[in-house]
Amino acid sequence: MREENHSVVSEFVLVGLTSSLEIQLVLFLVFSVFYVAGILGNLLIVLTVVSDSQLHSPMYFLLANLSFIDMWVSSSVVPKMISDVFKERKVISFQGCIAQMFFIHVVVGTEMVLLIIMALDRYVAICRPLHYLIIMNFQTCILLLVAAWIIGIIHSLIQLVFVVNLPFCDHNEMDSFYCDLPRFIKLACTDTYRLELMVSADSGFISLGTFFILIISYIFILITVWQHSSSGLSKALSTLSAHITVVVLFFGPCIFVYLWPFPMVPVDKFLGIFYVVITPFMNPAIYTFRNKEMKVAMRRRLIQILSFRELF
């Protein structure tokens, strides 16, 4: 019986964010601008860090890696969403849906671990400055980054192996603008209570756990700075408040969506916008463009490019 039913759903219909044509037009413009600006900003950061030898230090490599992941986070959802805006029927194949969920969880999971690594890097730089280069050497950085990707992949695989074989009957309408794991599970025609708990445990744990680790490390950094010089505190506070804004914008919605998947509240489909559209756009602005060394490097690059073109 189940086997027969399983083949009934071969694609999902995405409801999107709204049915109003005017709002869709506005969303189309806003998301396109955010997406393109985010990709360009992040690309600029990666290219600057990789090509400028003065930026070859753990902090900048980590920032470049964050930009690299951010491009994938927004690309996993936004291009399809933008191209769907004016389609009467927004569909995604069963395999496409699985692939999208897998990909989103890999990159978002990896990004969360990477944010912890970046906080650790700042902690060592500020609290153990004399040992910084010994602790955060190139090998350690690579090792931590590989660990971040492995954790992201494992986190995503664990959830996906449990849901790929779910039976689907006739409900294939997903009230979201991308394939969203909690909603995917809700559509299955079987008792999904345990699966939902599993997703809450896995995704909820990784978002809530990372959130607390980050907040605690920021508090540690602030206390250390404060003990050494109260004048340094206001500078550290202004840097960290930007980080904390990102962390709240990124993790708040994740924690809400994944720790609370049972009564589907209508607002939670809009929360996805924060972590797939807004944070990948804001990260470069907050982490990098406020950084003086980075701005100098970019200007240097620009002058090089301009003077190179004058040769022709």
Ligand X SMILES: *[C@@H]1O[C@H](CO)[C@@H](O)[C@H](O)[C@H]1NC(C)=O
The binding site for ligand X (CB under 6 A) comprises 46, 49-50, 61, 64-65, 68, 141-142, 145
Any bridge partners for residue 12, and if so which?
92
Q: Residue 262: what are its φ and ψ, rounded to 5°?
A: -70, -65
Least Å from the CB of residue 4 to ligand X: 47
Q: Closer to ligand X at the Cβ: 65 or 217?
A: 65
Least Å from the CB of residue 65 to ligand X: 4
Least Å from the CB of residue 152 to ligand X: 14
Least Å from the CB of residue 2 to ligand X: 44
Q: Closer to ligand X at the Cβ: 55 or 181?
A: 55
Q: Calculate the alpha carbon distances from 87 to 20, 21, 25, 46, 130 in Å.
A: 13, 11, 12, 34, 58
By the 8 A CB rule, do 174 and 14 touch? Answer: yes
Q: Closer to ligand X at the Cβ: 57 or 192?
A: 57
By the 8 A CB rule, do 174 and 184 touch? Answer: yes
CB atoms within 10 A of CB 279: 24
Helix axes 230-259, 94-127, angle to 10 degrees: 160
Amino acid at 224: T
Nearest residue to ligand X by CB is: 64
Least Å from the CB of residue 284 to ligand X: 13
C-alpha span between 231 and 236 (Å, rounded) = 9
Strands 90-93 and 11-14: antiparallel
Q: Closer to ligand X at the Cβ: 141 or 240?
A: 141
Structure tokens at 278: 């807004």
Least Å from the CB of residue 54 to ligand X: 15
Q: Closer to ligand X at the Cβ: 42 or 207?
A: 42
Q: Closer to ligand X at the Cβ: 45 or 195?
A: 45
Least Å from the CB of residue 230 to ligand X: 33
Q: Closer to ligand X at the Cβ: 49 or 107?
A: 49
Helices (H), 7-93: 21-51, 58-75, 78-84
Consecutive H or E run containing 174: strand 173-174
